[in-house]
Amino acid sequence: MYLKAKPLFSEAKRPMVFLNKEDAEELGVRPLDRIQLSYKKNRIVAIINTTEKFVSAGEIGLYSDVENELQTREGSLIKTEPVDPPESIAFIKKKLSGNNLASAELKKIIEDVVENRLSEIEITAFVIGLYHHGLSVQEAAYLSRAMAQTGKMITTWKKPIYDKHSIGGVPGDKTSMLLVPVVAAAGLTIPKTSSRAITAPAGTADRMECLCPVSLDINEIKRVIEKTNGCLVWGGALDLAPADDIFIEIEYPLSIDPLLLPSVMSKKKAIGANYLVIDIPTGKGVKVKTIAEAQELGSKFIHLGKKLGISVECVSTLGDQPVGYGIGPALEAREVLKTLLEGRGPADLIDKVSNLASVLFDFAGFKDGKQKALDIIKSGRAGKKLTEIIEAQGGNPKIKAEGIPIGPESVEIKSRKSGQVLWINNRVITQTAREAGAPKDKEAGILLHKKTNDNVKKGETLFEIYAKKKHKLKRALKFLRTQDVMKIGKPHEMVLTEIPKEEEKEEFFILER
């Protein structure tokens, strides 16, 4: 059937077209069936949507992307033929029915996801199929490989490659920004790509961007690595395992995360990692609640790493409260810079960094890894390395902590009573910082003055909230009125909190990987 092109003047994620219901019936197709469009020498397979109104019989509604691909104009006569749906739909159904999938089947699904050949309904079915039936380690390996191979693979830089990943969920966790300089200063290659925050107040890319550019291309990254052994860049534009971003769009609204393992490992495979340390923050208010869960997850990562040729070690770390004192891109960048330049800083932060570094140092055959890391920090060599990396990425190597703007709006929250900080609620910290504008407003966030087990006097400042814009500061304060950030009490007090009568509606889902 020939139909006249009608431009829709807007875009869609996938190649979708609108047919009038009458033409759809004539072609014997239904919504979500596939149709091949031909115009001159150009061809494209699109997903069908039908309408009774805004596309008339004899017309076909085209989004800009399809229009560009076919090079049609308004009124161009397009040949349309129904075609079979992508083969991968059969494999998705197979997974939905609880069967394990073979390498070729998973690869076909991932290819079709990346090429936008599958509809949202079909990808959702795949994600939920994985959520229900789980993935075998073998399937996770196939998926990781397929997700890596359908994106860019980096193979050219100096081997071996060391890397670090965190399962995330702890606000203020700026570990990577210290770990990379420490490891690079020891002579190991660590090309760290990071994400921006999705549900957190800051991602490593957001923090590092307060010091220097992070949106580097592969060649620029290579030059940085050659100069300094390390980098701290945003991975989002490097086309590493692009299927992951599409899966995240499905997982986020459903608050499920069945692709955690392949998501992490596909990116590591894509950058060619040989040795990997994975930080699994464990505790209340993060994804992994108990050490047993951390061990289970960790052993899966190790097992999956073996199948992918990556040596993996996992460390379960205390995740009950923020790491260090700053939360939010600029406040965290300040804390990192100050710590490394002065060679000393928050005890928890330094302990975490040196422990994770020691795992990579063990891989490298270095002795006394933890002490070596501490020495590198204390001696200022890590600070020097960070400065080198900042300069190599195009930033100002003379930048000082105080030079990084925060605020200008701020408010101090003081304690109404004396006692000890019994707990800090990660979820409330995260949400308050986000209400205040983080991570979009780099200047926004929270600066803790007290942490768990600290003594507090009535009237003393517990924390400060910073915001770039007044209305966001107000928004954060409004949010705080209904929430408990910290519990101040006596050490012997046994009541953690009073359970509210109504179940709390808002669910907290950590998508950071």
* Catalytic sites, residue numbers: 257
Pick the closest to residue 234 from 266, 212, 264 (CA basis). Answer: 212
Cβ–Cβ < 8 Å for 162, 360 = yes
Q: What share of the chain is helix, strand, coil (3-state, %, to 5)?
A: 40, 20, 40
Instruction: Work out whether 293 is an interface residue with a copy of itself (CB under 8 A).
Output: no
The least distance separating a copy of itself from the CB of residue 59, rounded to whole angstroms, comes to 12
Distances (CA, A) of 208 to 48, 335, 386, 442: 43, 12, 10, 10
What is d(CA 490, CA 492) in angstroms, rounded to the nearest whole number? 5
Residue 247 or 325: which CB sits closer to a copy of itself?
247
Instruction: Based on the shown chain and the rule CB under 8 A, indicate whether residue 498 belongs to the binding site for a copy of itself.
Output: no
Residue count, binding to a copy of itself (CB under 8 A): 49
Q: Looking only at residues 255 through 284 of this chain, which bind a copy of itself when binding is defined by CB under 8 A? A: 255-256
Asked if 312 and 165 count as a contact pair (C-beta separation under 8 A), the reply is no
Q: Does 470 bind a copy of itself (CB under 8 A)?
A: no
For CA atoms 316, 451, 408, 413, give the dihedral sign.
Answer: positive
Shortest distance, CB of residue 392 to a copy of itself, whole angstroms?
A: 28
Of 129 and 298, which CB lies nearer to a copy of itself in the complex structure?
A: 129
Give least dist CB 457 to a copy of itself, A.
Answer: 35
| Distant-in-sequence, close-in-space partners of 173: CB < 8 Å, separation ≥ 6 | 166, 281, 322, 323
Is residue 285 within 8 Å of residue 487, measured between CB atoms? no
| Coil vs helix vs strand at 436 | coil
Pairing state between β 230-234 and 275-282: unpaired
User: By CB under 8 A, what part of segment 88-117 binds a copy of itself?
Assistant: 89-90, 92-93, 96
Q: Please report where in the chains the tokens 């359908």 appear, as a residue.
A: 150
Q: Is 61 helix (H, G, I), strand (E, B) or coil?
A: strand
Q: Which of 128, 280, 286, 327 binds a copy of itself (CB under 8 A)?
A: 128
Q: In whole angstroms, how close is the CB of 505 to a copy of itself at the nearest point?
A: 7
Joined tokens for residue 320: 């009950």
Q: Does 413 bind a copy of itself (CB under 8 A)?
A: no
By CB under 8 A, tell whether 156 contacts a copy of itself: no
45, 198, 364, 477: which one contacts a copy of itself (CB under 8 A)? 198
Tell me how far, at minimum, the Cβ of 185 lies from a copy of itself, in Å: 34
Indicate whether 250 belongs to the interface with a copy of itself (CB under 8 A).
yes
Specify whether the CB–CB gap between 331 and 437 falls below 8 A.
no
Candidates 119, 387, 430, 432; binder of a copy of itself (CB under 8 A) is: 119
The correct pick among 132, 400, 416, 478 for binding a copy of itself (CB under 8 A) is 132
From candidates 3, 5, 8, 46, binder to a copy of itself by CB under 8 A: 8
Residues 3 and 60: beta-carbon distance below 8 Å: yes
**From 105-113, 251-259, 315-323, 484-492, span contacting a copy of itself (CB under 8 A):** 251-259
Q: Could you tell me whether strands 16-20 and 419-424 are parallel, antiparallel, or unpaired per DSSP bridges? A: unpaired
Contact 510, 169 (CB under 8 A): yes
- What is the C-alpha radius of gyration for the chain, rounded to an integer number of angstroms? 26
Interaction between residue 36 and a copy of itself (CB under 8 A): no
CB of 126 to a copy of itself, least distance (A): 10
Interatomic CA distance for residues 140 and 301, integer angstroms: 10
207 vs 205: CA distance, rounded Å: 5
The dihedrals phi and psi of 278, each to the nearest 5 degrees, come to: -115, 125
* Beta pairing, strands 311-318 & 445-448: unpaired
H-type helices in 343-405, by residue range? Answer: 347-363, 369-378, 381-392
CB of 10 to a copy of itself, least distance (A): 5
Q: Does the footprint of a copy of itself cover residue 253 (CB under 8 A)?
A: yes
Is 51 a binding residue for a copy of itself by CB under 8 A? The answer is yes
For residues 495 and 503, which CB has a smaller minimum distance to a copy of itself in the complex? 503
Compute the least distance from the CB of residue 270 to a copy of itself, in Å: 23
Closest CA to 409 of 466, 448, 329, 334: 466
Helix (H) or strand (E) holding 190: strand 190-194
64: contact with a copy of itself by CB under 8 A:
yes
Measured from the CB of residue 513, what is the shortest distance to a copy of itself in angstroms? 15
Q: Are 188 and 360 in contact (CB under 8 A)?
A: yes
Q: Which stretch binds a copy of itself (CB under 8 A): 126-134, 278-286, 331-339, 407-415?
A: 126-134
Question: For a copy of itself, which residue of 249, 313, 375, 454 counts as binding (CB under 8 A)?
Answer: 249
Q: Which is nearer to a copy of itself, 31 or 213 (CB)?
A: 31
Contact call for residue 26 and a copy of itself (CB under 8 A) = yes
String marking each residue 202-241 x if it binds a copy of itself according to CB under 8 A:
----------------------------------------
Binding residues (CB under 8 A) for a copy of itself: these are 8-11, 18, 25-26, 28, 30-33, 51, 53-54, 61, 64, 84-85, 87, 89-90, 92-93, 96, 119-122, 124-125, 128-129, 131-132, 198, 249-250, 252-256, 434-435, 440, 505-507
